[in-house]
Amino acid sequence: MSGPIRHAVDLAVLGAGPAGGAAALAASRAGLSVALIDENPDAGGQVWRKPVRPAARAATAEPGDALRADLAASGITLLYGRTVWSVGASLDLDMIDAESGRWERVSAGRLVAAGGAHERVVPFPGWTLPGVVGLAGATILLKSHGIAPGRRVLVAGCGPLLFAVAAGLAGAGVEVVGVADLAARSDWLRALPDLLTRPGLLGQGACWMTSLKAAGIPIFFRQALRRAEGATEIARAVIGPVDAHGAPAPGPERTFAVDALCVGHGLVPGSDVTRLLRAPHRFDPLRGGLVPVTDEAGRTGISGLYAVGDGAGLRGAAMAALGGELAGLAAAADAGRLAPDAFAREAERLRRAMARERPFSDRMAGMMRLRPAQVQAIAPETVVCRCEDVTRAEIDAACAAGARDVNQMKQFTRCGMGPCQGRLCGDVAAELLAARVGTREAVGAFTARPPLRPIGFDELMGDFDYADIPIPEPAPL
C-alpha cells in the first residue's frame, strides 16, 4: 500500500482567488516556498474565473489573466483541481486530485485560508424547483461557459450582482422579464457618495443599468419573491412589495411566466476551515455572518493560521487582494524571512490602499446583508434545508422541544447533515433559531468536521487492500 503524495513547503494557501493568489505571490516573493491549492482547474476564484469556452470571455477576465500569468511565472507549487477534505491541527492539508484520484498531503506549518464565500438564498415556496438558479451559479454559467440558465428569466434578490447577472443575460440574448430588488431606489441614491470613491466600478454599474434600460427591462425596487410555481419545473415566478426590513408589505403581486429564475440574497463567508481548527469567531452582519477573529494582517487566534478574503468577511475583490498580500507578507515576517522594518513599510502602504477601498466595500456589503425580517417571513411549510427536506415548521418545533443552538437543532431535525454540510441552509437556520433564542452568538454555528467536501471511500482508500492489514501472530496458549 502506498501513502499520500506529500508536498513540504513553508506556506500553504487554500484558495486561488484574488486573496489567495495575492497571498501566495507576496509570500513567494518574500522568500517562502509556497503551495497554492484550489478545487478549480485554474486560479481566479469566482470573480476572476477563467472561461472554459473562449466565447464566454468578458472584460472582467483581464485581472484574472494577469493573476494566472503571475502565478505561472512564479516558483509556487500550483495544486489546482484538488478537493481539500481535511485540515489537521498541525495545519497539514489532505486532498484528492480530481484528475488522478490520488490522495495528497501538503505539510507547511503555516496556512492562509482564502476559501471565499458562497451565496445565500433565503428560502421561499418553490425555491427547490428545477430552473431556480442562484445568482452566483448563473454567473458561473455565463462567465465560464457562455451558457444561459433559460430563455425567459426573472432576476431577483439584492446587491450589485442582480444587475450584473441581468445585464449579462440580456447581452447573451435572453429575454429578461424583470429585475426585483429588495432595496429601494433611494437606498442606491444614498449609497452614491461611497460609490463615487470607486469611479471605475460605479461606471461599470452604470453600464449595466444603461443596458437594462435600453433593452426595456423593468426594475422593480423594494420587491421580493413571494413564490415560484410549476408542476415539475418552474413555470411562473411571483413577486410582491416588501418594507425597508425585507418583510412582505401590502400591495399587488406580479406574476411572470418564466423557464428560469435567478435569485440571490448576498453571500456567506466560507469559514469552514477556521471553524474546523476552532479559531475564535464572531458574528458580523455587515461582513456576511460568522467570521474568524483576525488582526489587520489576517492572523487568527491559531498560531500559523491566517484568514483573508471573503472567507474572513465580505469586502469584495479589491480588498481581498490587498488583504491577501498583507497576509502573505505577514507569514513571511512571522517566519523570519522578511525584516520587521520592511514589513512595516509594506503594511502601511497596503493599509492606505485598503482605507481608500473601504467606503465602497462597506456600502456594497451593506446592500447584501441579511434582512432578518425576510427570514422571519418564511412560511412554515417552506423547505429550509433542501438536502434533508427540513422545513421551517420542523426547525420551530425543534426549538419548542428545547433546541437552543444550531447543533442541537441539527440533531433534532437533520438540518445541515446533507452533502452541502449546511452551507446552503446554515445561515438562515441559525437566524430562525436566534429569533427565538436571543442572538446569533447564542445559537452558534454548525460544528465543522472532516470531510469538508463529499469524497468517495475509494478515494480515501486508494490502493489499500486486505492483504495490507497487519495480522499479528496468534497468542501462545
Helix (H, G, I), strand (E, B) or coil at 96: strand
- Mean pLDDT on 126-137: 95
Q: Tell me the per-residue pLDDT of 197-226, one tens digit each, with 9 for 90 and over.
A: 999 999 999 999 999 999 999 999 999 999
Tell me which DSSP letter residue 144 carries: I
Q: Residue 167 contacts by C-beta under 8 Å, 6 or more apart in sequence? A: 207, 208, 211, 212
Residues written for the chain: 477
Q: Is the pLDDT of residue 414 over 60?
A: yes
The beta-carbon contacts of 81-84 under 8 Å, at least 24 apart in sequence, are 81/38, 81/39, 81/40, 81/41, 82/37, 82/38, 82/39, 83/39, 83/453, 83/455, 84/14, 84/37, 84/39, 84/273, 84/452, 84/453
Tell me which DSSP letter residue 232 carries: S
Q: Is the pLDDT of residue 60 over 60?
A: no
Decide the pairing of beta strands 175-181 and 152-157. Answer: parallel
Of 76, 128, 125, 83, the closest CA to residue 104 belongs to 83
Q: Which helix (H) or strand (E) holds 42?
A: none
Cell of 147: 451558457
| Cα gap 156→266, rounded to integer Å | 11
- Residue 277's Cβ-side half-sphere holds a number of Cα atoms within 13 Å equal to 26
| Cα gap 235→17, rounded to integer Å | 36
Of 371, 259, 370, 366, the closest CA to residue 315 belongs to 366
- Mean pLDDT on 184-209: 94
Of 293, 257, 63, the closest CA to residue 178 belongs to 257
Confidence category of residue 366, pLDDT binned at 50, 70, 90: very high
Q: Which residues pair with 156 in a beta bridge?
A: 180, 263
Q: Which helix (H) or strand (E) holds 84?
A: strand 82-87
Q: Tell me the per-residue pLDDT of 87-123, one tens digit each, with 9 for 90 and over.
A: 999 999 999 998 888 899 999 999 999 999 999 999 9
Write b or e for each residue in 450-464: b if 16 or more Cβ atoms lie within 10 A of its Cβ, otherwise e.
eebbebeeebeeeee
- Mean pLDDT on 46-53: 80
Phi, psi of 257 (to 5 degrees): -80, 120
Q: What is the mean pLDDT of the chain?
A: 93
Neighbour-count burial of 465, counting CB atoms closer than 10 A to its CB (0-12 exposed, 13-18 middle, 19+ buried):
exposed
Q: How many CB atoms lie within 10 A of CB 468?
A: 9
Residue 146 gets the label, from left (phi > 0), alpha (psi -120 to 50) or beta, of left
Tell me which DSSP letter residue 159 carries: S
Confidence category of residue 1, pLDDT binned at 50, 70, 90: very low
More confident residue, 378 or 145: 378
| Cα gap 455→218, rounded to integer Å | 44
Neighbour-count burial of 93, counting CB atoms closer than 10 A to its CB (0-12 exposed, 13-18 middle, 19+ buried):
buried
